[in-house]
Structure 1
Amino acid sequence: MARPLAAALLWRGLLTGGLVCAIGLLPWLSRTDPALTVLKARSAERDPTPETLRAIRDELGLDDGPPALLGRWLGGLLRGDAGRSWVSDTEVLPAAAQALGASLLLMAGAVVIALATVAAVCARTLWLGSRRRLGTRGPGGTGSAVLAALPEFLIASVLASVVGVQLGWLPALGWYGPQWLILPSLALGLPAGAVLGRMLDDLLPAAFAEPWALAAAARGIPPASTARQALRRCVPTLLPNVGLFVVGLTGGSVAVEQIFDIPGLGRLTLRAALAQDLPVLQTGTLALTALAAAAAVLARLGVRRLTGPALRDGALHSLHRPAPPAPRAVPFVYALLLAGVIGLGLPRDPLALDTTDKLQSPSVSHPFGTDALGRDVLARVAHGALDTLGAALAVSAAVLLTGVLLGLLPRLSAPLVDTVNAIPPVLAALLVTGIAGSGPWTPALAIGVVAWAPLATHVSSLLRQERATLHLAATRALGAGRWYLLRHELLPAVLPPVVRHALLRLPGIALGLAALGFLGLGSQPPCPEWGLLLAENQPYAERAPWAVLAPAAALALLGALAVTAAGGVRLPRHKPKRPPGSRPGSPAPSVTATPPPRTDTPLIAVSASPTKTP
């Protein structure tokens, strides 16, 4: 036990050290003079004369090289001194601690909103399942899919302008008390809760179909108790992803912190990265990495607390649902709508300017209106769909493959996931740009570096529970080898929910690619990518809301299409020939079947071994 723990700690330490060293090389990787970047951050109007740049190099010790700078910073950190900011010449540690406190408070508010959103998304499935009115698949509407597809900065902009400015119900700018926490918490918590709610809603129907739930219904146990046990059965699978969301809400909320003027750790780290302020950047990244490690440890403790004995004794039932759902027409409706928008806009010119027709409302000639330069919004949305969807699909496929492969090796990937998840996407893009250079595929590579982590965590979590199932123990006892178990049992159980998870993140990847392009790390205006359209038209949201709503609606439509189409993702398990006399639809007992539950056996809680009762 001590040896694996020591190996895991050593692996985490090496990864964290590698990340900090890579960040320490950022000014030199960017192929720009660090002294010039620091000078521009201190005073943009100051003339960068050779004497001034030489003075900055001598002041900061830049000529000593990255190893000496990193060694001095680490030495001071051991004494409780993180150095002084290269830009503001203030102590780094107090500023980082204050920013971390603001981010943690914002994270707590966002978690509360996210949990409330999860409860709203899963309420119908819990109600129907606890009363045995649920079929093989949860009802799961598309409203949560649309909400999950909306970008956080767009929700933040709408809340700030409408609720904060126009209606005046809540303060929109600043960080002075609990009232200033509500709007940014809503902007962060609603999309995160929608994603987690969809993932939980995907697991609940299988939990209600397990033998313990059937026995509970036969014995007349109250539906509320059955619903609580179903949640307890499914929540451990999602706890590792919840930890990732928590860290993402802390370090990845840069846009929301910028809009609401919140002095958080994400904004502090981003500004330090852009200004190449190494002491601040390294301290902020180290704080995010420590937070990621703490969240991972708490998630693992939660999983052991909820399902530890069952995982140890192999007392779980599989959450895999081999029966395919009935075909539905909803995905085809979304596909037709999206194809119709693209088909109507492709014949139009997305770059044609008409300064006399600026910010015009939707009309017959311009169904989606015009933007600030008089360009047709419908044409720009349609032409931007080709680049946005193509790149997003390619990155999503690569991320899915990487997440599955690394998720199959949890001892290797778990520390790597925690380290990668602590890197904000913008910081990852800056590192990738410094190493690979700027180009059209730089945003794709930057997003791919960090986007595989939630999928790998999901795969590892599902594998951990699937390996503890009764049918897998029976199959292994009958002589099945590792390759047979992986191919015919584990992958068919793991791949469908992970693919649905990947499709749920497709709109976010599309937005992230375009957003990084807008920051100068990829495609540039006038390229009509959807993220660029949102960013370009955001300043005119009050005067011309259609210019923002059109790309946002296209992004939401893409999310609804991806999620509803993912409902049919199933991989059938290998079923040997059924012996004569067996019931249709029952698995063959020679390989994968478990004995049918007796109605007179005690109800088994997921946290207890098979011989214990609650």
Structure 2
Amino acid sequence: MWQRVAGAGWRILLAVGLVCGVGLLPWLTRTDPAYTVLKARSAEREPTPEVLADIRRQLGIDGGPLHVLTGWLGGLVRGDAGRSWISGADVLPDVTRALGVSLLLMGVALLVAVLTAGLICARTLRLGARRRLGGRRGGGSLSAVLASLPEFLVASVLATVVGVQLGWLPALGWYGPQWTLLPALALGLPAGAVLGRLLDDLLPGAFGEPWALAAAARGLTGRSIARQALRRCVPALLPNFGLFVVGLTGGAVAVEQVFDIPGLGRTTLQAALAQDLPVLQSGTLALVLLAGLATGATRVAARLLTGPALRDGALSSLHRPAPPAGGLLPLLYGALLLAVVGFGLTRDPLALDTGQRLRAPSLDHPFGTDALGRDLLARVGHGALDTLALAAAISAAALLAGVLLGLVPRVSAPLVDTVNSVPPVLVALLVTAVAGSGAATPALAVGAVAWAPLAAHTSSLLRQERATLHITATKGLGAGPVHLLRHELLPAVVPPVLRHALLRLPGVALALASLGFLGLGAQPPSPEWGLLLAENQPYAERAPWAVLAPAAVLALLGALAVSAAGGLRRRPTRSSPRQTDAAGQRPVAEAEREPAGFGAR
């Protein structure tokens, strides 16, 4: 009971600290909030000292930041979030309306994500139900492409092709349910690809557990076994599913910008750019509360799905030694990526030739040219040095921080909830306010939130691994906590989290690209990939190669990450017990001799 109270108090303290930090944003930027508000209201009006003093008096900020914060918190107690500094309208109705829009979009996007994850796992489920699973995975290439496509690029292509050229669905605005389909596809496809890969990584272990083998030996249908295997694996993914819920609500800024959707992410971003403090604080508080509700719901659902086996230590480990997958694919994808980067580095990314504007791919320009006649292959190659190196460094740091913090869930869980409730765009603005703008701003912003999914995954897997039968038996033989952690828990937990980090490597690159797309990253003439996409998006209909070139390299990076992740598996040792026969399944007699574990009630 005391631990729950302490955890709730830690979450409340972090939430209050975050909201207060956001409330200090105008002063952290070392700019006068009155000047920013004046420019947002009327750019032509002269910012004389008298005018600025009058604005401070109108907004009630002449007493300083502490006065503003205490006044806003006091108003919340009375159900009053204040008035917008820009429009003068009540904040609470506007934020509530934006939250409703984002929740509707998030619901449809989650449906798309679940369907996408199901399609990616369909082959593994089918093979597992037929007892023919032998270390092969399904949906690798498809999931790599989907997970690697930037959300804003998918949104732009869908809006241009499906909405404008074909006219099948409305492309801009928000006037009814039919306006949700295109943005939901743009958000749900990449999210579903990541969830599908994580689930596809766990399913073979579930099909190899004693309960599944015994059920097959007793004649249960493959469909029933597959359904229970899904139930067995889903609890380990629910923490990350909760993170996706918040990410699809507050982190959908770029998609909301493309489709002109008045959602909470876009509202919060606009308020941050205009330093409209009441709207910014209220939007951030709504995201924090949503993160808390999503996290609590996923934890309750995980306990209900797992049942008493988690409490009684009756689970089997999903992470058994298995032959590594991948083969020559990682080498092929890696060689292709190196070839693109290598050829691009031999060219000048800044050479202008206005007579070669928007030229189609040719022998002289294999990727075509952009609107200024610059060679796209050169820009993609030189941009890879910054994008790939930065993404790899951030992913490595996030993996280390995620594993270390995941080992202490009582400390990391409230941090994960709070960090995930803040969109990377808002983090970028906070980093810019504290450290100033520059090339390091996107790296700091993405690195500040990239560890959270890995920490949630680590703590979830660790919780289930500690409830396994072999850990209970090892404890009974006198093993101490250090031995268990070093020889049992970490070898079982680190490989899947490492594969997860590799799967998120393209996502880190995409987050950097998204900040560049929104103008918060690198600035021209830098060839950073996000900036390339932003610069060439207006010409996507006339010169699609200008957008497809960096997008294709991102997809290639995703394919490399997925195939390399398949090779990071625990190899069976000679001392390991025999777990599978040549067909990829354990002998029936052995399965019948062992307890049913997860299936027992």
Q: By the TM > 0.5 criterion, same fold?
A: yes
SS in 2 for 1:48: coil
SS in 2 for 1:292: helix
CA distance in structure 1 between the partners assigned to 2:461 and 2:579 by the alignment: 24
Is the contact between residue 516 and residue 534 of structure 2 (CA under 8 Å) also seen in structure 1?
Answer: no
CA distance in structure 1 between the partners assigned to 2:62 and 2:449 by the alignment: 32
CA distance in structure 2 between the partners assigned to 1:74 and 1:229 by the alignment: 48
Hey, what does 1:411 align to over in structure 2?
A: 410
Hey, what does 1:528 align to over in structure 2?
A: 527
Question: Deviation at 1:536?
Answer: 0.7
CA distance in structure 2 between the partners assigned to 1:583 and 1:363 by the alignment: 57
Is the contact between residue 125 and residue 134 of structure 1 (CA under 8 Å) also seen in structure 2?
Answer: yes
Which structure 2 residues correspond to residues 236-385 of structure 1 after superposition, within 5 A?
236-326=235-325, 328-385=327-384
Is the contact between residue 136 and residue 321 of structure 1 (CA under 8 Å) also seen in structure 2?
Answer: no
Which structure 2 residues correspond to residues 100-115 of structure 1 after superposition, within 5 A?
100-115=99-114
CA distance in structure 2 between the partners assigned to 1:543 and 1:521 by the alignment: 26
Hey, what does 2:469 align to over in structure 1?
A: 470
Which structure 2 residues correspond to residues 382-531 of structure 1 after superposition, within 5 A?
382-517=381-516, 519=518, 521-531=520-530
Is the contact between residue 142 and residue 560 of structure 1 (CA under 8 Å) also seen in structure 2?
Answer: yes
CA distance in structure 2 between the partners assigned to 1:12 and 1:137 by the alignment: 41
CA distance in structure 2 between the partners assigned to 1:368 and 1:569 by the alignment: 33
SS in 2 for 1:138: coil
Is the contact between residue 23 and residue 431 of structure 1 (CA under 8 Å) also seen in structure 2?
Answer: yes
Question: Deviation at 1:363?
Answer: 1.0
Question: Deviation at 1:327?
Answer: 5.4
Pair 1:15–1:30, CA change in 2 (3 A): same
CA distance in structure 2 between the partners assigned to 1:597 and 1:36 by the alignment: 75
Question: Deviation at 1:601?
Answer: 7.3
Is the contact between residue 518 and residue 524 of structure 1 (CA under 8 Å) also seen in structure 2?
Answer: no
Is the contact between residue 254 and residue 518 of structure 2 (CA under 8 Å) also seen in structure 1?
Answer: no
Matched letter for residue 150 of structure 2: P
Hey, what does 2:586 align to over in structure 1?
A: none
Hey, what does 2:227 align to over in structure 1?
A: 228
Pair 1:584–1:9, CA change in 2 (3 A): closer
CA distance in structure 2 between the partners assigned to 1:370 and 1:145 by the alignment: 27
Deviations along 1:459-499, one digit per CA (max 9) or x if unpaired, are: 00000100000011111111111111111111111111111
Which structure 2 residues correspond to residues 572-611 of structure 1 after superposition, within 5 A?
597=590, 599=592, 605-606=598-599, 610=600
CA distance in structure 1 between the partners assigned to 2:465 and 2:598 by the alignment: 17
Question: Deviation at 1:213?
Answer: 1.1
Is the contact between residue 22 and residue 430 of structure 2 (CA under 8 Å) also seen in structure 1?
Answer: yes
Pair 1:161–1:585, CA change in 2 (3 A): closer
Matched letter for residue 65 of structure 1: G
Deviations along 1:89-139, one digit per CA (max 9) or x if unpaired, are: 000000011001000000110011011101100000000001101013434
Matched letter for residue 108 of structure 2: G
Hey, what does 1:62 align to over in structure 2?
A: 61
Matched letter for residue 274 of structure 2: A
Matched letter for residue 266 of structure 1: G
CA distance in structure 2 between the partners assigned to 1:513 and 1:128 by the alignment: 37
Hey, what does 2:583 align to over in structure 1?
A: none
Deviations along 1:43-89, one digit per CA (max 9) or x if unpaired, are: 22332222221211111122211111011111111101100000000
SS in 1 for 2:388: helix
CA distance in structure 2 between the partners assigned to 1:520 and 1:247 by the alignment: 23
Matched letter for residue 95 of structure 2: A
Deviations along 1:325-358, one digit per CA (max 9) or x if unpaired, are: 2551111111111111112211111000011110
Matched letter for residue 6 of structure 1: V
Question: Deviation at 1:585?
Answer: 6.7
Pair 1:358–1:324, CA change in 2 (3 A): same
Percent of residue pairs bearing the same amino acid type: 72
Is the contact between residue 324 and residue 571 of structure 2 (CA under 8 Å) also seen in structure 1?
Answer: no
Deviations along 1:259-300, one digit per CA (max 9) or x if unpaired, are: 111111111100001111110000000000000000000000
Question: Deviation at 1:220?
Answer: 1.5
CA distance in structure 1 between the partners assigned to 2:330 and 2:31 by the alignment: 49
Deviations along 1:437-480, one digit per CA (max 9) or x if unpaired, are: 23332211111111111110000000010000001111111111
After superposition, the CA RMSD in angstroms is 1.8
5+ long unaligned stretches in structure 1: 587-595
Is the contact between residue 229 and residue 605 of structure 1 (CA under 8 Å) also seen in structure 2?
Answer: no
TM norm structure 1 = 0.94
Hey, what does 1:590 align to over in structure 2?
A: none
CA distance in structure 1 between the partners assigned to 2:577 and 2:13 by the alignment: 55
CA distance in structure 2 between the partners assigned to 1:419 and 1:568 by the alignment: 33
Hey, what does 2:584 align to over in structure 1?
A: none
Between stretches 100-109 and 31-40, larger displacement belongs to 31-40
Deviations along 1:216-254, one digit per CA (max 9) or x if unpaired, are: 121121000000010000000001110100010000001
CA distance in structure 1 between the partners assigned to 2:480 and 2:4 by the alignment: 28
CA distance in structure 1 between the partners assigned to 2:325 and 2:288 by the alignment: 44
Question: Deviation at 1:583?
Answer: 6.5
CA distance in structure 1 between the partners assigned to 2:550 and 2:490 by the alignment: 37
CA distance in structure 2 between the partners assigned to 1:308 and 1:276 by the alignment: 48
Hey, what does 1:97 align to over in structure 2?
A: 96
Is the contact between residue 314 and residue 598 of structure 2 (CA under 8 Å) also seen in structure 1?
Answer: no
Is the contact between residue 492 and residue 572 of structure 1 (CA under 8 Å) also seen in structure 2?
Answer: no
SS in 2 for 1:516: helix
CA distance in structure 2 between the partners assigned to 1:177 and 1:128 by the alignment: 41
Pair 1:540–1:384, CA change in 2 (3 A): same
CA distance in structure 2 between the partners assigned to 1:138 and 1:471 by the alignment: 27
Hey, what does 2:150 align to over in structure 1?
A: 151
CA distance in structure 1 between the partners assigned to 2:392 and 2:466 by the alignment: 31
CA distance in structure 2 between the partners assigned to 1:498 and 1:100 by the alignment: 32
Query: Paired residues, what number?
Result: 594
Is the contact between residue 324 and residue 569 of structure 2 (CA under 8 Å) also seen in structure 1?
Answer: no
Pair 1:539–1:326, CA change in 2 (3 A): closer
SS in 2 for 1:172: coil
CA distance in structure 2 between the partners assigned to 1:86 and 1:394 by the alignment: 40
5+ long unaligned stretches in structure 2: 581-588
CA distance in structure 2 between the partners assigned to 1:525 and 1:597 by the alignment: 64
Hey, what does 2:172 align to over in structure 1?
A: 173
SS in 1 for 2:140: coil
Pair 1:522–1:259, CA change in 2 (3 A): closer
Question: Deviation at 1:532?
Answer: 0.9
